[in-house]
Structure 1
Amino acid sequence: MVPVQIEKYVNAIGDFMDKHPTTTMNDKLKDLEHKTGYHKVYFFVTGAVSALSALWLLGGVKLLVDLLGFVYPAYMSFKSMDSGSHDDTQWLTYWVVFSFLSIVENLLSVIVTAIPFYFWIKMGVIVWMYAPSTRGAEVLYQQGLRPLLAPYLEAGKKD
C-alpha cells in the first residue's frame, strides 16, 4: 500500500514510465512488480538514485553537473539533426556557449572553487541555457559572445 502523501508522485512517475517504456525499462520492471508485489516505481527510483549516487561517488558534483549539461542537449541535438526542423540553430548556439563557458571555467578554476554553491549556480545556468522556454544560450550568445567575437568574424570574412 502506497502512503497517500506520496501516491501522486508514484502515479506521476508511473505515467512517465508508461510514456517512455524503453528508456525506463518499463516492461522488465512490470515483470519484477508482478513477481515481488512491489510497485515498479520503487524499483525505478531505487535504480535511478543508485546510479546518481554511484556517479556522485565516482566523480562528485562536477560530474553530475557536466552530465546535466551534456546528456539532454546531446539527445536533443541528435533529434534535431534527424528531424529536419530548424532546432539546429538553438542547439548549435547552446554548444558554442557551453564550450566557451567550459573553457572560461577551466581558466578561472582557482576563482571558481572560492564561489559558494558554484555547482548549484552552474546547474541553474545550464538548465536556463537549454530550456525551450528561456533559450538562455541564445541570450548569452547575442548579448555577450557575439559582440565579443564580431570583430574577429568580420576580419575572417575579408581574408
Structure 2
Amino acid sequence: MNDKMVPVQIEKYVNAIGDFMDKHPTTTMNDKLQDLEQKTGYHKVYFFVTGAVASLSALWLLGGVKLLVDLLGFVYPAYMSFKSMDSGSHDDTQWLTYWVVFSFLSIVENLLSVIVTAIPFYFWIKMGIIVWMYAPSTRGAEVMYQQGLRPLLAPYLEAAKKD
C-alpha cells in the first residue's frame, strides 16, 4: 500500500464522522470538541473517536461483551421509543413489539444460561439478532412476534381474557 494513500483513506472516514458529528451536535458534544480542536490544532474527530474507543474499552473491561451487547439492545431502542412517544408517529407498535420480544428473549436467555454459554460466538449472534430486530428496514421484532411469540402465547392470552 502506498503511504500517500493512507491519509486520503483516513480523511474519508474523518469527514464522514465529522458530518455525523455536525448532524448530531448534542450527542457528540460537537461544540466542546470544536473548542478543543481550535486550542490544540487536532481535528475534533480524533478526540471523538478516542473518547468513544476509551468508553467502549472501559465498558468492555467492566462488564465484558455481555454488557456491550445488552447496551446495544437497550440504548438505541430506548431512545427511539422515547422519540416515538413524543412524535405521535406510527412507530409505537414497532418499538412496543421490540420490547416485548427483547424481554421474552432475555428471560429465555437467563433460563437457558448453561446452554447459551456453550454456543460459540453467542454474543456476536445475539448482536446480529438485536440489530435485525430493531432495524427499520427489517423490523425483525415484528417478524419474531408474528411468527413465534404470538402463536405461542395466544392460547394463554385468550384464556386470561375469559377469566
Give the alignment's TM-score, normalised by structure 1: 0.98
Show the counterpart of 1:59: 63
How many residues get paired?
159
Shift of 1:144: 0.3
Is 1:88 aligned with 2:84? no
What SS class does the counterpart of residue 75 from structure 1 fall into?
Answer: helix
Q: Percentage identity across aligned positions?
A: 96
* Alpha-carbon displacement from aligned partner over 1:36-95 (angstroms, at most 9, x marks no partner): 110000000000000000000000000000000000000000001111111111000000
Structure 1: runs of 5+ lacking an equivalent: none
Shift of 1:156: 1.5
Structure 2: runs of 5+ lacking an equivalent: none
What SS class does the counterpart of residue 56 from structure 1 fall into?
Answer: helix
Moved more, 119-128 or 147-156: 147-156
Give the alignment's TM-score, normalised by structure 2: 0.95
What SS class does the counterpart of residue 97 from structure 1 fall into?
Answer: helix
Is 1:69 aligned with 2:73? yes
What SS class does the counterpart of residue 3 from structure 1 fall into?
Answer: helix
Q: What is the alpha-carbon distance in structure 2 between the residues aligned to residue 55 and residue 63 of structure 1?
A: 7
* Alpha-carbon displacement from aligned partner over 1:99-128 (angstroms, at most 9, x marks no partner): 000000001101111100000000000000
Show the counterpart of 2:126: 122
Shift of 1:139: 0.4
What SS class does the counterpart of residue 24 from structure 1 fall into?
Answer: coil
What SS class does the counterpart of residue 28 from structure 2 fall into?
Answer: coil
What SS class does the counterpart of residue 73 from structure 1 fall into?
Answer: helix
Q: What is the alpha-carbon distance in structure 2 between the residues aligned to residue 138 and residue 146 of structure 1?
A: 10
Q: What is the alpha-carbon distance in structure 1 between the residues aligned to residue 43 and residue 6 of structure 2?
A: 9
Shift of 1:4: 1.0
Q: What is the alpha-carbon distance in structure 2 between the residues aligned to residue 54 and residue 88 of structure 1?
A: 33
Deviation above 2 Å: which 4+ runs of structure 1?
none
Shift of 1:2: 8.2
What SS class does the counterpart of residue 6 from structure 2 fall into?
Answer: coil
Shift of 1:5: 1.6
Q: What is the alpha-carbon distance in structure 1 between the residues aligned to residue 89 and residue 59 of structure 2?
A: 34
1:6 to 2, 6, 10: 10
Give the alignment of 1:1-150 within 5 angstroms.
Answer: 3-150=7-154
Q: State the Cα RMSD in Å.
A: 1.3
